[in-house]
Amino acid sequence: MTNIVGYARESTLDQAHNGFNMDDQVRRITEFCEFEYGQEPYELSIRREEGRSGKNLERPEIQKILQQAESHAIDIVVVYCLDRLTRSLTDLYE
């Protein structure tokens, strides 16, 4: 079974009203996983982070995801778009 973590983040109320709201991100992540992995067994868990900037990885939920990835407890991380994960190319590379 493929273990997938979806990560959704919204840092401001403005983002919530302009296309990056949490529910929309979760819906799009879920739809993507159903389309991409629906033919095989997978487990999707969603991590949400509200009111957190994407300027660095100093966020509790993303730290948990990184720890899970390092220990091979998850196979795939899905985000609505890369800036929900981080806005730093250095952090993305790591």
Task: Please determine, for residue 54, whether its predicted confidence score (pLDDT) is greater than 80.
Answer: yes
What pLDDT does 43 receive?
A: 96
Mean pLDDT of the chain: 89
Report the number of secondary-structure helices (H) and strands (E) in the chain. 5, 3
What pLDDT does 46 receive?
A: 97
What pLDDT does 14 receive?
A: 56
Q: What pTM does this model have? A: 0.86
**Which amino acid type is present at position 64?**
K
Tokens encoding 38: 């629906």
Task: Please determine, for residue 94, whether its predicted confidence score (pLDDT) is greater than 90.
Answer: no
Task: Please determine, for residue 15, whether its predicted confidence score (pLDDT) is greater than 80.
Answer: no
Residue 25 · residue 10 · CB < 8 Å: yes
